Chain A
Amino acid sequence: MRAGETLRLLFRGPTAIVAAAVLVVLIVTAFLGEQLAPYDATATDVSNRLQGPSGDHWFGTDELGRDVLSRVILGAEVSLRVGAVAVGISLVAGVLIGLLAGYYGRWVDDVLMRLSDVLFAFPAMLMAIAVLAILGPGSTNAMIAIGIVYTPIFARITRASVLSVREEVYVRAARSAGAGDLRIIGRHVLPNVTAPIIVQTSISLAFAILSEAALSFVGLGTQPPDPSWGRMLAEGRGFVEQAWWMAVFPGVAIFVTVLAFNVLGDALRDVLDPRQRQAMATSGATR
C-alpha cells in the first residue's frame, strides 16, 4: 500500500500518463491564466467580432470581439476551482456521514442514510437547480449546490467500506486495548477506507466540472462577464452557423478535462482495488 508503489503501478500504462499530463497542463493553465492568455479575456473589440481562427486569434473571437483562446484559458481556472471546491464539500461531508453511519449503525445509520437517500433520489441536475433557485445564481452557490448533490455518493461509498472494516479483527484488537471510538475511527477505520474514496474523488471531479458547465449553460452558475466554459458554450450556441469556433473550443476543453479525470479515476481504481492490483503485480512479474 505504499504510495510509491501505487504511483509506479498507476503509471505503467500510457493512458494514465496521458490523463495525468493533461491534468497537470490544465492545473498550470488555471494558475497562470492571466499570464498565459494573449488578450484580456473580458475586453471587447466590436470591430473584430466573430473572426474565425487566425494567427492573431487562434481560437477566433466571439460576438463582442473577445478572444476565445484567452477566455478558454481563464475558464480553466473557473472550472477547476468550482469542481475542486464542490468535490471538497461533498468529500468532507460525505465521508463524515459515511463514517458515522457505518461505524455506529442502528439509528444513526438509519437517519443519516435515509437523508442521503432523499438527496440521492433527485436527478443530480434537478437537485442542483433547485438548490440554486433557493440560494440564487452565482459560482459560489454553484459550488455549494454541486457539493450537496455529490455528498450522498461519498456517504454511501464510505459507509459500505466502513461496514466491512468495522468487523476486522484489528479493530477488535484496538478496542480490547482500550481505544475509544474516535481513535478507532481516525486511526484504524479511515486509513483503511481511503482507496474507494480516492477513486470516487477523481470521477466526481469530472462530473462536478460537467455540472458547473451545465449550470452555467442555463445561466445559474458563473455570471458574465467571467469566462466559463459552460457559459461560452451557451453564448456560442446562437452563432453555431456563423462562428462554430465559439462553441467548439470551450466544448473541447470540457470534453478533454472530463475525460482526463475519468481515465485517471479508472486507472486509480484498477490500482487501488487489491484483487485487481494482485493480478497486475503478478502479470508484471512473469513478463
Chain B
Amino acid sequence: MSDVLVRASDLRVHFGPVRAVDGVDLEVRRGETLGLVGESGCGKSTLGNALLRLVEPTGGTVEFDGLDVTAAGRRELRALRRRTAMIFQDPYASLDPRRTVAESIGEPLAIHRLHRGRAARRSRVGELMEVVGLNPDHGGRYPHEFSGGQRQRVGIARALAGEPDFVVCDEPIASLDVSVQAQVVNLLVRLQREFGLTYLFVSHDLAAVRQVADRVAVMYLGRVVEIGAGTSVSGTPAHPYTEALVSAVPVPEPTRERTRQRIVLTGDVPSPADPPSGCRFRTRCPKVFEPCPDHDPVLQPTGPEQAAACHLHGVTDR
C-alpha cells in the first residue's frame, strides 16, 4: 500500500479563458493533513473540488488510492464518492432547509445502501451525531433550529457517514464565530485520529492551517508555489510569496510582535485569464530578477521535506 492516497499530476481546470488551476502536482499522504493556503481566487477550492472530480479537470490526472479518478466510469465514481467526502465553508448553505438533520446526515447511507433498514439507519445517524457532539434526540429538527457551529457539526457528521478515507475541508471554519472555530478544529483533529482520516484542509488563513496541518502547500494564481512540512514552510519560507504570507501573521508575543517586519505586496493579483509570462509571481515579487519573465519555475527541493518554485534556488523552466 503506497503511502500516497491522492496524487494530482499536471492538473488543470480552466473555466473558459480563466485558468483556475493551471498545472498542479500534488501528493496527499495517507493519514496526514495537508493544508492548502492562498488568497481568494488562487484556485485552492477549485483544486479541492477537482481532486474529488466535483469539477471536471481540463487536463492532467488525479489518482485516488491507485484509481485514475479522471478516467473513472459511473460505477467507479460512485465507489469513490463513498470513500471521499467534503465539508463546506458555509454551514447555512450546505444543509438542505427542507430536510431534517437526520435525513441530511443519513443521505450518504441511503445513497450507498449502508446500514439498511430504518432502525439500523436511525441508530447509525444517532451514533454519528454523538461522535460530533450533537444530541442524537435532535435528529428530527431542521437546520434553521441550529446555530452555525452546530450546523457545521451536522455537515461533519454527514461527511463521516460513509466512513470515508479522504475528506476535503473547504474553509470549514472561515464562516464560524471565532469562539466556535477552535471547537470545530479540535473536533476535526480528534475525528482524524479516531477514524484514521486524511484531510485536505483548504484555507486562506495560514495561522489556522499551521495549527492543524502536517504539511502545507501554498497556491498562487493556479499553481502550487511552495510545499513542505508546516514548520518549515512557516519557519523558513523558501518562496517570496510564502515569506509575505508568513510575515502577515501576527505573533502572539508582544516583544516579537513589535519588531515583526511585514512584507507588503504591491499591486493586484494578475488575472488568471492572462497570467504573466515566466514566473507568475514576478509582477508582485520584491526579489524579482532577470530570469523571472522568461522562465517558468518548477517546484524544486530547497530543504528536507520542502520544495519551492522560485529561481532564487536555481533557474528552472517547465
Contacts and interface: CB of A to CB of B under 8 A. Distances in A.
Contacts of B108: 177-178
Interface in A102-128: none
Given A188-B96, A191-B98, A177 B90 contact: no
Given A1-B98, A178-B111, A192-B96, A172 B54 contact: yes
Interface string B206-224: 0000000000000000000
Interface stretch (B14-22, B79-87, B264-272): B79-87
A285 interface: no
A6 B97 CA distance: 15
Contacts, number: 65
Contact of B90 (A169, A174, A176, A183): A169
Contacts of A187: 96, 99
B54 A176 contact: yes
A173 B93 CA distance: 10
Nearest to B79: A178
B164 to A, nearest CB: 10
Given A173-B88, A174-B107, A168 B93 contact: yes
A176 B85 CA distance: 6
Interface in B223-267: none
Interface string A182-200: 0100011001100000000
Interface residues of B, number: 28
Given A177-B85, A177-B107, A169 B98 contact: no
Interface in B79-117: 81-82, 84-86, 88, 90, 93-99, 104, 107-108, 111-112
Interface in B46-81: 52, 54, 77-78, 81
Contacts of A183: 111
B162 interface: yes
Interface of A is mostly: helix
Nearest to A191: B98
Given A177-B158, A179-B111, A169 B85 contact: no
B97 A1 contact: yes
A175 B88 CA distance: 13
A268 to B, nearest CB: 18
A255 interface: no
A178 B88 contact: no
B94 A169 contact: yes
A170 B90 CA distance: 10
B82 A170 contact: no
Given A169-B88, A187-B99, A176 B93 contact: no
Contacts of A192: 96-98
B94 A170 contact: yes
A24 B97 CA distance: 32
A104 to B, nearest CB: 16
Contacts of A176: 52, 54, 81, 84-86
A258 to B, nearest CB: 32
A175 B84 CA distance: 12
Interface of A: 1, 168-170, 172-180, 183, 187-188, 191-192
Given A168-B93, A173-B155, 14 more contacts: A1-B98, A168-B96, A169-B90, A170-B93, A170-B94, A170-B95, A172-B86, A174-B107, A176-B85, A177-B85, A177-B162, A178-B77, A178-B112, A188-B98
23 contacts: A1-B97, A1-B98, A168-B96, A169-B88, A170-B93, A170-B94, A170-B95, A170-B97, A170-B104, A172-B86, A172-B88, A173-B158, A174-B107, A176-B84, A176-B85, A177-B158, A177-B161, A179-B111, A183-B111, A187-B99, A188-B96, A188-B99, A192-B98
